[in-house]
Amino acid sequence: MQQRSVLHRDIKLENILIDDDGHLLLCDFGLSCQGSKASATYLSGSHRYVGLRGNLDNACCGTWELLPPEALAGRPYGYELDLWSWGIAMYLMAMGTVNLFDGLTYGIYPRI
Protein backbone atom coordinates (compact mmCIF):
# COMPACT_ATOMS: atom_id res chain seq x y z
CA MET A 1 0.00 0.00 0.00
CA GLN A 2 2.85 2.36 0.75
CA GLN A 3 4.12 1.92 -2.82
CA ARG A 4 0.73 3.21 -3.99
CA SER A 5 0.77 6.05 -1.42
CA VAL A 6 -2.25 4.68 0.44
CA LEU A 7 -2.76 5.06 4.19
CA HIS A 8 -5.43 2.64 5.45
CA ARG A 9 -5.74 4.30 8.90
CA ASP A 10 -7.94 1.56 10.43
CA ILE A 11 -5.96 -1.69 10.42
CA LYS A 12 -7.43 -4.03 13.02
CA LEU A 13 -8.32 -7.72 13.21
CA GLU A 14 -11.86 -7.05 11.98
CA ASN A 15 -10.41 -5.59 8.76
CA ILE A 16 -8.01 -8.46 8.00
CA LEU A 17 -9.44 -11.37 6.01
CA ILE A 18 -7.86 -14.70 5.05
CA ASP A 19 -8.62 -16.16 1.61
CA ASP A 20 -8.81 -19.87 0.68
CA ASP A 21 -5.07 -19.92 -0.09
CA GLY A 22 -4.16 -18.46 3.31
CA HIS A 23 -3.31 -14.98 1.99
CA LEU A 24 -4.17 -12.00 4.15
CA LEU A 25 -6.48 -9.41 2.61
CA LEU A 26 -7.17 -5.95 3.96
CA CYS A 27 -10.72 -4.60 3.77
CA ASP A 28 -12.71 -1.51 4.84
CA PHE A 29 -10.91 1.39 3.20
CA GLY A 30 -13.51 3.90 4.43
CA LEU A 31 -10.96 5.94 6.43
CA SER A 32 -8.10 5.54 3.97
CA CYS A 33 -6.44 8.38 2.13
CA GLN A 34 -4.05 8.58 -0.78
CA GLY A 35 -1.13 10.88 -1.44
CA SER A 36 1.58 12.56 0.56
CA LYS A 37 0.90 13.90 4.02
CA ALA A 38 0.38 17.35 2.56
CA SER A 39 -2.07 16.34 -0.17
CA ALA A 40 -4.02 13.40 1.23
CA THR A 41 -7.55 12.91 -0.07
CA TYR A 42 -10.15 10.30 0.72
CA LEU A 43 -10.39 7.27 -1.54
CA SER A 44 -14.06 6.78 -0.72
CA GLY A 45 -16.90 9.07 0.26
CA SER A 46 -18.04 12.34 -1.20
CA HIS A 47 -16.83 14.65 1.57
CA ARG A 48 -13.45 15.47 3.06
CA TYR A 49 -12.64 14.90 6.69
CA VAL A 50 -11.24 17.97 8.40
CA GLY A 51 -8.63 17.07 10.98
CA LEU A 52 -7.75 18.60 14.31
CA ARG A 53 -5.86 21.47 12.68
CA GLY A 54 -8.02 21.82 9.57
CA ASN A 55 -6.25 19.32 7.32
CA LEU A 56 -5.89 15.59 6.77
CA ASP A 57 -2.28 15.42 7.97
CA ASN A 58 -3.21 14.73 11.56
CA ALA A 59 -6.88 13.73 11.30
CA CYS A 60 -7.19 11.39 14.25
CA CYS A 61 -9.31 8.58 12.87
CA GLY A 62 -9.35 4.83 13.19
CA THR A 63 -9.68 2.53 16.18
CA TRP A 64 -8.46 4.53 19.18
CA GLU A 65 -6.86 1.56 20.93
CA LEU A 66 -4.68 0.86 17.89
CA LEU A 67 -3.48 4.39 17.13
CA PRO A 68 0.20 5.30 17.57
CA PRO A 69 1.30 8.05 19.98
CA GLU A 70 1.73 10.72 17.29
CA ALA A 71 -1.87 10.30 16.11
CA LEU A 72 -3.21 10.45 19.68
CA ALA A 73 -1.19 13.62 20.25
CA GLY A 74 -2.62 15.23 17.11
CA ARG A 75 0.77 15.34 15.38
CA PRO A 76 1.13 14.61 11.65
CA TYR A 77 1.69 10.97 10.80
CA GLY A 78 2.35 8.86 7.75
CA TYR A 79 2.76 5.20 6.90
CA GLU A 80 4.05 4.47 10.39
CA LEU A 81 0.43 4.67 11.59
CA ASP A 82 -0.49 1.59 9.54
CA LEU A 83 2.69 -0.20 10.60
CA TRP A 84 1.93 0.45 14.29
CA SER A 85 -1.67 -0.74 13.91
CA TRP A 86 -0.54 -3.82 11.97
CA GLY A 87 1.92 -4.69 14.74
CA ILE A 88 -0.74 -4.36 17.44
CA ALA A 89 -3.16 -6.47 15.37
CA MET A 90 -0.55 -9.21 14.85
CA TYR A 91 0.31 -9.15 18.56
CA LEU A 92 -3.38 -9.51 19.40
CA MET A 93 -3.67 -12.42 16.97
CA ALA A 94 -0.65 -14.19 18.47
CA MET A 95 -1.21 -13.45 22.15
CA GLY A 96 -4.97 -12.94 22.38
CA THR A 97 -4.60 -9.73 24.38
CA VAL A 98 -2.56 -6.58 24.77
CA ASN A 99 -1.93 -5.34 28.29
CA LEU A 100 -2.66 -1.77 27.19
CA PHE A 101 -6.39 -2.44 27.22
CA ASP A 102 -8.30 -2.03 30.46
CA GLY A 103 -11.80 -1.44 29.10
CA LEU A 104 -11.48 2.30 29.66
CA THR A 105 -10.30 4.23 26.63
CA TYR A 106 -8.78 7.08 28.63
CA GLY A 107 -6.71 4.58 30.62
CA ILE A 108 -4.97 3.37 27.47
CA TYR A 109 -3.33 6.60 26.31
CA PRO A 110 -0.70 6.96 29.06
CA ARG A 111 0.48 3.40 28.35
CA ILE A 112 0.99 3.90 24.61
Known catalytic residues are: 10
DSSP class per residue in 28-87: --TT-EES-GGG-EESSSSSPPP-TTSSSTT---S-GGG--HHHHTT----THHHHHHHH
Please tell me the distance from the alpha carbon of residue 17 to that of residue 74, in angstroms, as a whole number. 30
d(CA 44, CA 39) in angstroms, rounded, equals 15
Residue type at position 20: D
